[in-house]
Amino acid sequence: MKTNFELNEGKSKFNKKEFLKYVGPGILVTVGFIDPGNWASNIAAGSGFGYRLLWIVTLATIMLIVLQHNAAHLGIVTGLCISEAVNKYIKPTIARGITVTAMLAAVGTSMAEILGASIALKMLFNIPTKIGGLISAALILFMLFSNSYKKIEKVIIGFVSVIGIAFIFETMLVDVNWKEVFTNSIIPSIPKGALPIVMSILGAVVMPHNLFLHSEVIQSRKWNLKDKFIMEKQLKYEFLDTIISMVIGFVINSAMILVAITFFQKGIKVTELEQAQIMLKPLLGNAASIIFATALLFAGIASSITAGMAGGSIFAGLFGEEYDINRKQTKIGVAITIICALIIIFFIQNPFNGLVYSQMLLSVQLPITIFAQIYLTSSKKVMGEYKNSLIDSILLWIIGIIVTILNIMLLFNSL
């Protein structure tokens, strides 16, 4: 029996040129999980535990493919983003709780992104972190309020390319034990003291705001969804776009950990991103540290844009509106996300820990979004004939339960 996650090949032949028209939403989402928060989490993992936490990147990416495809599926079939669907089909009190916590997650994400960009400016130009935060926030708001979605999408694809090339370059400079990489990528282990890092990586890869964002941007292209043939073609190409994009993110995240293992091998524990850049000079050469800081700047700016878009989409959905930067509710949502994030930065004493713990907190909100999404996409009232199949539902429930169990483990670990 075929599921919604399979490529319905019988409907139409694969056309490379046609597929390129559908590429974009997945890449837009990908930049969200190669953001500065990921950098901090991955560097903490690699420098603190060597190869032993690579498995969580693998697991999180598999979860991500299933969840992002399911979120995009909702957007394509209903023409609604998750926030709109939540407020349309779920009781108001529960719906408000889901969207308010999602907004908090978007703010937390944005804080990590802006903070990462400001740290990069300090590395490159010695600009104080708080001033760098103001510069970054101003640039991000300008780009969000002045550019169309399609322009931003092209800019972000360029940013992702720069980040990917930078880490491929740096990985080539590192002495990697590929047998260890393969073994630890598929065999789970949680060394003593590693659970907070495991949760921060999970929260940094499977990000609540990205689920909202993907469901928004995938249906913003305004294809003729009344034509069943066109809808199913979009569902097929979206799945390819999602898989390719998430695999790119997987490679970049794994490369970050491999670069950080250089510190583990030297017995150096990294406690701030500036330290990582400085230490890369004697370990990998001067070019590596410059590339590291430049890529971090691109990552911070690009992921802040997607976080702002997600915040705008979530807030607009509260009022039954789609993301439209020309509308009042979207503008308010974007402004809340970026400005609140900037305010938080002024109260952070340790930027590196702020990045790590912000990602850990995202994983705490994640089950709320996952279970809301499962409810919506399993409902015939919402999805009609395209509701989740039995296999789809089982996969989604397994993911939700795993994330919840890890959160409970983190709670007991913190007590």
Under 8 Å between Cβ of 49 and 183: no
Q: Is the pLDDT of residue 72 over 90?
A: no
Mean pLDDT of 238-254: 82
Place of tokens 């930027």: 351
pLDDT tens by residue, 160-198: 677 777 777 777 777 888 899 999 999 988 888 888 888
pLDDT tens by residue, 390-409: 998 999 999 989 888 877 77
Q: Is the pLDDT of residue 224 over 70?
A: no
Please give the mean pLDDT across all residues of the chain.
79
> Among residues of the chain, what percentage have pLDDT more than 70?
75
